[in-house]
A and B are shown apart, each in its own frame.
Chain A
């Protein structure tokens, strides 16, 4: 009775506090170990934890990017379980009633196993974003007709030369001052369940179901709004999507292997199909006329089409055969079919745009087709072989083919407003390279066929492995239509059980283009590429109480043999033009280095310490050029570096075993971003007065040394006191500090950048102190 009354009291408290926005626990993902993962033992019981939390008032959404930290009383976790000969039930809940709540568990009987999970993930991507438009319906952002007219007529009455930044600043100042505020937040709510029915059947059979609802605002959306004055207008993008997935899996197992099959159907339903935004500079739909200057006209609003509903079916058939000497032969065939046939929206929302034949471009009847009826088929073939013919020798081989084939019955596009969105119609003429009217309308297929073989040999505790792999790459409608990607790897693993472990790998690969055409150089994802990877992991345990780890990782990717720049006219080298030496364009190099040192020390059973340091560096180099006639004009070189230092510390002190425990956790990650921009001094970008990014007199180079710099520091301490066998009292403190610096996009805090109207939201620096206390009862 006593236990029951305590439980009732706690549950009553839980239900009392289970009101939205009143429950809270310590920061998930920061420092304090999750209190909800206590393994329950015995035949039945559970745990419930009630907590109270106080925190600094933090304005930056970054603090609660994927978590919920409201102040007050909450139920950070609870668990219930029951295990009998007939039923195994477990339910585990976390962050009850909060925006980041989660419930997971299982219900297993002698006839079936049922497992389930429900997970809510908040996405807070910016607080108090300034938006000059008002949302009148989901996905529709409007400006008052009066204001729109006032701004538009003022612009129209001003000469082109007079439309300077100060002009726009003055024109829009009062609008920005009265801008509304909106939080750019959304939520994912995903539930899934799996029902295993194979317990009473002569084969395995399970059913799965998943449903996810995404709602809120996706993030900064909107974009270019085109008229006589073309601007970028950001507003929160609507998000209202449901994804469902239903599947069935079956397998028949026998002594020497299994045969298996599965089918899954995935349905994506986007209930926020469009985004409509008023044009602040054009107050009525008007035909766009660009000459004589100044241009006039354009759409009073712009409309974007969001992702269309789509479906995917995936069918798998496979087998695994087992033989002596650990020999396994496996094969799988997976067929995918993706379809999309959402109704098209009209070409434009501007009622004044007409086709050459005089049809209204904003009418559905003007469309060439009512929908796309898109189809993509994927075929995956996989065969594996592994064996250990002798005790020391392992052999492995794999053949894998992935084929993505677009089966859509394409139509030839004859015209649209793509070239001048919402302003004017363009006749589209197919070409040999773009037979359906646009390059992006080409039928794009790709296929990768890969064969990998490896052999390893054990020499005592040392295992040496060599691997060879070869792949053929095929694509349609791209520059590189055929290629290969071959490589090899050598690896060593040494594991003297108690004191030393070593893993070292070296991997080298080369991607080549065998067929294709390019003038400027292949795009980076298909260009010739040489990759070298090296890793080294060393684990030392000189004594039982001490562990030392060193990890090194290096990836060096080069893009060699890129062609030098040549002047191009109408898609072909200009007459008389020759490649200009030392002017390859595109991604030239990408490197990543990482080093980690870690130590774990348990000087006695009451103290556990672990600390690590990781150093990383990312380097990328790309280059780009322009010509004047057949000679070089600009040569820009962008070299980006992110250098990262990460520290971590975990410490547990069992002050009085099973009674008092102190946990301390601290991390800091500092990213030092650097961007180095070099311009050819003789190029037009170096012209004083035009170029501020590459200032004159600095040798043609500018370092942006606060380029995506961030520092995240966390410190946490938690004291647990076992009041009685079933009761634990916890007190904790968390400090978290986030700093962000980025000169490159500092403009997004200024509104407007000329006529670029960005939303000014708060997801920047914060400094937070959190205090909490919890009471846990285990029953």
Chain B
């Protein structure tokens, strides 16, 4: 019931700004007296095979959907009266170019483009997408993959993708667009979910819970501990364990300090003095998975005995 009022308000807003006429679908375009084939006569590279295979080629008015004054230009060319108006988009600003595209594409994933970081940074649609020629299987990108397109500008991410601990991006099994919607301006970092965690759960649903025992920072934000673009530490961790754990766990009992017996000499082991309990594992907090050697269910535990994430 509490949502009825906002919905009624929303409908009122729509009526106020859109008016009754707004509730009709856009009228169909007027048929043109020329086709893309006519343009191809002179612009054979622009209207080449790739363009012909695209959805744009099948549109009514085709070239005229994006290029202004095509009819005048065509008429002048046909009659031999000089070039007439030049319909190129090359002189337009990034915002103007994107507006041409958004006339049709301002919907679904592109609906919030005007708010996006790419719009703010004057990145025109045509910097990534090729209308007349393209190399990707989907989305008409100017490169063979979304990742390649993104790396044109995002150099640190390109370098991070080569780290030993990485998502299978460089193997081509996923791409930047697996997680990011480059056209979105509604969500932080253009991610394809309402929060970082919800994004991660799309592939790592086992981490979603809710769990009987929760690790609060984990519930709040996966990137507190992980760097999804690639790191040099196992499991995409931003730091090596146990250092990462020490960022928060500061109470400083011997529980955390007893790791100092581990030898840094490759291959040499230390034989610590037997501890009173006969438990010669003073180095257990440093080696291998460090804290995670015992606290294995750090993402949350549903074991009735998992309060410390060891079960």
Contacts and interface: CB of A to CB of B under 8 A. Distances in A.
B51 to A, nearest CB: 9
Interface string A61-93: 010011100000000000000010000001010
B260 A710 contact: no
Interface in B1-35: 3, 6-7, 10, 13-14, 17-19, 21-26
**Binding site of A, secondary structure by majority: helix, strand, loop or mixed?**
strand
Contact of A685 (B93, B221, B260, B296): B260
Given A41-B50, A256-B18, A477-B216, A406 B210 contact: yes
A520 B252 CA distance: 9
Interface in B276-303: 276-281, 283-284, 286-289, 292-297, 299, 301-303
A204 B107 contact: yes
B305 to A, nearest CB: 5
Interface in A757-771: 758
Contacts of A100: 171, 173
A204 B108 contact: yes
Q: Which 10 A-B pairs have the closest CB atoms?
A: A374-B210, A41-B49, A160-B278, A307-B206, A29-B171, A523-B248, A66-B168, A305-B303, A268-B205, A224-B294
Contacts of B233: 708
B309 interface: yes
A440 B309 contact: yes
Contacts of B262: 692-693, 747
Given A441-B212, A710-B232, A754-B280, A694 B260 contact: yes
Interface residues of B, number: 145
A66 B171 contact: yes
A478 B210 contact: no
A626 B255 CA distance: 11
B252 A312 contact: no
Interface residues of A, number: 209
A520 B251 contact: yes
A40 B206 contact: no
Contact of B137 (A37, A344, A493, A707): A37
A344 B302 contact: yes
Interface string B152-164: 0101101110111
A755 interface: yes
A557 B168 CA distance: 28
Interface in A240-290: 241, 243, 245, 251, 253-260, 266, 268, 270, 290
B266 A746 contact: yes
Interface stretch (A51-59, A177-185, A329-337, A723-731): A329-337
A750 B267 CA distance: 7
B212 A374 contact: yes
Interface stretch (A2-10, A138-146, A616-624, A652-660): A616-624
B10 A319 contact: yes
Contact of B260 (A221, A330, A693): A693
Interface string A344-358: 111110000000000
A768 B201 CA distance: 35
A304 B195 contact: no
B307 A669 contact: no
B149 interface: no
B269 A712 contact: no
B243 A321 contact: no
Interface in B237-287: 238-240, 243, 246-254, 256-257, 259-267, 269-274, 276-281, 283-284, 286-287
Contact of B201 (A312, A375, A712): A312
B310 interface: yes
Given A34-B172, A166-B271, A293-B278, 6 more contacts: A34-B144, A232-B288, A368-B304, A692-B261, A693-B263, A746-B267
Contacts of B232: 642, 644, 671, 673, 708, 710
Which interface residue of B251, B264, B266 has the most chain A CB atoms within 10 A?
B264
B126 interface: no
Nearest to B168: A66
A644 B159 contact: yes
Contacts of B62: none
Contacts of B205: 241, 243, 266, 268, 310, 312
Nearest to A388: B95
Contacts of B283: 747, 753-754, 756
B133 to A, nearest CB: 9
Contacts of B293: 223-224, 232, 756
Interface in A85-140: 90, 92, 100, 102, 104, 119, 121
Contacts of A331: 10
Interface stretch (B38-46, B66-74, B76-84, B113-121): B113-121
Contacts of A321: 13-14, 17-18
B194 A402 contact: yes
B186 A372 contact: no
22 contacts: A83-B53, A100-B173, A202-B25, A223-B292, A230-B281, A320-B112, A348-B305, A382-B186, A463-B122, A626-B253, A627-B252, A634-B257, A638-B243, A640-B239, A644-B159, A667-B162, A690-B260, A690-B273, A693-B260, A743-B264, A743-B265, A758-B287
A33 interface: yes
A233 to B, nearest CB: 10
A243 B247 CA distance: 33
Interface of B: 3, 6-7, 10, 13-14, 17-19, 21-26, 49-50, 52-53, 90, 93-95, 99, 106-108, 111-112, 114-115, 120-122, 134-138, 144-145, 153, 155-156, 158-160, 162-164, 168, 170-174, 185-188, 194-195, 198, 201-203, 205-217, 219-221, 224, 232-233, 238-240, 243, 246-254, 256-257, 259-267, 269-274, 276-281, 283-284, 286-289, 292-297, 299, 301-311
Contact of A257 (B22, B216, B252, B269): B22
A685 B26 contact: no
Given A330-B111, A384-B185, A586-B248, A39 B134 contact: yes
Given A418-B306, A444-B219, A694-B260, A160 B173 contact: no
Contacts of B201: 266, 312
A479 B17 CA distance: 46
A744 B304 CA distance: 34
B281 A524 contact: no
Contacts of B120: 396, 454, 456, 465, 491
A300 interface: no
Contacts of B106: 320, 322
A482 to B, nearest CB: 14
Contacts of B217: 523, 525-526
Contacts of B194: 314, 334, 336, 378, 380, 402
B56 to A, nearest CB: 13
A26 to B, nearest CB: 12
A402 B206 CA distance: 22
Contacts of B309: 440
A400 B184 CA distance: 14
A293 to B, nearest CB: 7
A311 B276 CA distance: 47
Contacts of A367: 304
A416 B304 contact: yes
Contacts of B49: 41-42
A404 B304 contact: no
Given A321-B14, A626-B252, A340 B209 contact: yes
A348 to B, nearest CB: 6
A340 B114 contact: no
A223 B294 contact: yes
B164 A624 contact: no
A329 B18 CA distance: 12
A231 B206 CA distance: 27
Nearest to B16: A321
A314 B202 CA distance: 12
A220 B287 CA distance: 14
Interface in A507-538: 520-521, 523-526, 537
A222 B295 CA distance: 10
